[in-house]
């Protein structure tokens, strides 16, 4: 099993190009199931989760072409992919595939909307909480679907098609908002989605659906309105820059010190994280080229923060922030409000010398003067990058095991960090 080796102590200087957003790419790819014409997506990151979703969509009959070649034939750089679901050959999403990535469960919405039926395995993914599918089921039932659970599968039927309805989510849910939008675009009549997720990735999906002929308004607010149409067409759409990757590398620069331009990054999707970076002690400048992060070696300051739905501080940056404030003067307090089991990185950061105490969903991080390299284990996608960030500032060598977690959501990390002066390399298992 591959590992990442990091030798800490070097500042980061240079440019890091920001990839297309993983959290936007996956629902955009799934939206290809809604039309028999070709959906072209630009700026698609080369990630393990993207490759897995290609396999899952292929199981349903989606033909995936990459820059004129068949899937899997090009290198580890941003791709332009063509997704053609001319004929849906199977409405079953099997356990062996869906169990590996939670977002693949979202195919249930487009399959049900277009084909009137879907049988989708209950999902898997990172072990960061139960993340039940009850809100997905509730939303689809409000659109007229008949749903049963049978042998670990969600079986959904709408033989006469879906119909518009009023969906009121009891709590903000990004995944179910994606699915509700995709299902509603082919439903008869108007659908109103209330307490909808406001995340930029929801807006990106809505923008793509509109290009495909959907009638969607209100994306980015708490109320989304969808008026169903008979069919959608093909379209061309560029995936938005990855705000989580942007925040991750911004924290890395603040941790290691230096001066880095995050090329292509958008500050509009990262207001709260960038505010926190300034509070911690980094200098943040927005330019026409992206976001520039600088820290000249001065001390870091402790902060208090709670994870929240957008526009609050994202849960997907919680672990990375925790790594950063391990070096801050004083005590930081980080409350996790989205997932109930997203502190598994704490014990691994402790192996590097971090002083962190947990009380339920609150972590108190007492800053230490030095971290020391050690062998650590990545427990999930975002936690794995917290260990990389800590390793950049730790004395000596840090080995991060289970690098496959990194490959699920971060493109070419060794090259991106290495080009800025870090000693980061991949080791064979």
Report whether 171 belongs to an annotated binding site: no
228 contacts: CB under 8 Å, gap ≥ 6: 162, 164, 184, 185, 186, 187, 188, 189, 190, 191, 215
Report whether 131 belongs to an annotated binding site: yes
Report whether 401 belongs to an annotated binding site: no
Report whether 102 belongs to an annotated binding site: yes
Q: For 178-327, list the strands marked E by DSSP.
A: 190-194, 215-217, 223-227, 235-238, 258-263, 283-286, 290-295, 300-301, 304-306
Report whether 135 belongs to an annotated binding site: yes
Report whether 55 belongs to an annotated binding site: no
> If we measure between CA atoms, which residue out of 171, 112, 116 comes closest to residue 338?
171
> If we measure between CA atoms, which residue out of 41, 48, 39 comes closest to residue 76?
48
Q: Please identify which of the residues 126, 208, 326, 420 carries the catalytic annotation.
A: 126
Annotation says 126 is catalytic: yes
Distances (CA, A) of 145 to 158, 184, 227, 429: 5, 11, 17, 47
Report whether 22 belongs to an annotated binding site: yes
Report whether 44 belongs to an annotated binding site: no
> If we measure between CA atoms, which residue out of 128, 132, 102, 131 comes closest to residue 380?
128
Report whether 236 belongs to an annotated binding site: no
Report whether 148 belongs to an annotated binding site: no
* Helices assigned H by DSSP within 80-161: 95-98, 108-115, 134-142
Rg (the chain; Cα; Å)? 21
Instruction: Give binding residues as ranges.
Output: 22-23, 102, 131-135, 316, 338
Instruction: Give binding residues for phosphoenolpyruvate as ranges.
Output: 22-23
Instruction: Give binding residues for UDP-N-acetyl-alpha-D-glucosamine as ranges.
Output: 102, 131-135, 316, 338
Active site positions, annotated: 126
């Amino acid at each position: 099993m591959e590992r990442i080796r990091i030798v800490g102590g070097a500042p980061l200087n240079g440019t890091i190009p920001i990839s297309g957003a993983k959290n936007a790419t996956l629902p955009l790819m799934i939206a290809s199931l809604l039309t028999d014409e070709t959906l072209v997506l630009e700026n698609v990151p080369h990630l393990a989760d993207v490759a897995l979703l290609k396999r899952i969509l292929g199981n349903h009959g989606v033909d995936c072409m990459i820059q004129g070649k068949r899937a899997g034939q090009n290198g580890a750089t941003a791709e332009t992919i063509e997704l053609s679901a001319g004929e849906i050959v199977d409405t079953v999403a099997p356990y062996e595939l869906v169990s590996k990535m939670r977002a693949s469960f979202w195919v249930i919405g487009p399959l049900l909307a277009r084909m009137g039926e879907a049988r989708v395995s209950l999902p898997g993914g990172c072990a960061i909480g139960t993340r039940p599918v009850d809100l997905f089921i509730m939303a689809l039932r409000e659109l007229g679907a008949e749903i049963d659970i049978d042998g670990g599968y969600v079986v959904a039927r709408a033989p006469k098609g879906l119909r518009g309805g009023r969906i009121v989510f009891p709590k903000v849910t990004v995944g179910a908002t994606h699915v509700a939008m995709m299902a509603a675009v082919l439903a008869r009549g108007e659908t109103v989605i209330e307490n909808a997720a406001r995340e930029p990735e929801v807006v990106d999906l809505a923008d793509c659906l509109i290009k495909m002929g959907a009638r969607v308004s209100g994306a980015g607010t708490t109320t989304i309105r969808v008026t169903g149409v008979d069919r959608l067409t093909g379209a061309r759409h560029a995936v938005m820059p990855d705000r989580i990757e942007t925040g991750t590398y911004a924290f890395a620069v603040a941790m290691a010190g230096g001066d880095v331009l995050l090329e292509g990054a958008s500050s509009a999707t990262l207001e709260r994280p960038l505010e926190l970076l300034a509070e911690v002690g980094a200098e943040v400048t927005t330019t026409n080229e992206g976001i520039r992060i600088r820290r000249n070696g001065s001390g870091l300051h402790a902060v208090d923060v709670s994870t929240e739905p957008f526009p609050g501080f994202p849960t997907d940056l919680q672990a990375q922030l925790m790594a950063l404030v391990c070096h801050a003067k004083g005590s930081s307090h980080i409350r996790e409000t989205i997932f109930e089991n997203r502190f598994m990185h704490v014990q691994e950061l402790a192996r590097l010398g971090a002083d962190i105490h947990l009380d339920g969903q609150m972590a108190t991080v007492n800053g230490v003067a030095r971290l020391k390299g050690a062998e650590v284990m990545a427990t999930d996608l975002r936690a794995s990058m917290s260990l990389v960030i800590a390793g950049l500032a730790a004395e000596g060598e840090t080995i991060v095991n289970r690098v496959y977690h990194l490959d699920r959501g971060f493109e070419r990390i060794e090259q991106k960090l290495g080009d800025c002066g870090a000693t980061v390399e991949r080791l064979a298992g």
